[in-house]
Amino acid sequence: MNTVFRKLRYGKPIVIVSGLPRSGTSMAMKMLEAGGMSVVTDGVRTADVDNPKGYFELERIKNLYQDGDKSWLKGARGKAVKIISYLLKSLPPDNNYKVLLMHRNLKEIVASQNKMLTNRQEHAGTSDERTLELLDADLRDAKFFLKRRPQFEVLELQYKETVDHPREEARRIAEFLGEPLNVEKMAEVVDLQLYRNRAEG
């Protein structure tokens, strides 16, 4: 089914902000909201020391892989939803999706996850080395899946590039989505001070 026919049949795409946990997905959601796009969130998970500007999550998404009726997602057409990369396979094919896929240095992600666990007085169940392997495999699997499904269009974004050059990346996002987003406001909400776990070099 070609892209034009899909648009006629399934309407406006759902904008999916995806990536591994701690890869900058909350920042991307904040940018979209600031730019004027409606975001789908329930506010159940509130801001904390690890994400002082909020998580922008929807609790129902966590059960997407076992949710038998996913027709409710149609209500998110034309809006943005945050979904981790592991759950992308659970999205039904009867929607169009534009995916902002966030990438971040995997060592930075592990460092950020470890810091979060420390703040919660919890401990990781696997070694950093094994966690790196699992994260790499998860992201590779997600990219492989996205490239082979007609319902997905993908824009890959680098966390570091977005933090270092927010206006340029905000412009790329707006052009990809084809929406009249306010690029300046999107750039303004990117906070360099929140880039607290940097890889060497």
Regarding predicted confidence, which is higher, 45 or 14?
14
CA atoms of 18 and 61, how far apart (whole Å):
12
pLDDT given for residue 116 in this prediction: 87
pLDDT given for residue 196 in this prediction: 60
pTM for the full predicted model: 0.90
pLDDT digits (tens, 9 = 90+) for 39-93: 999 988 877 777 777 789 899 998 998 888 999 999 999 999 999 999 999 999 9
The CATH number of 3-189 is 3.40.50.300
pLDDT given for residue 2 in this prediction: 65
Distance of CA 117 to the CA centre of its chain: 21
Domain ranges of the chain: 3-189
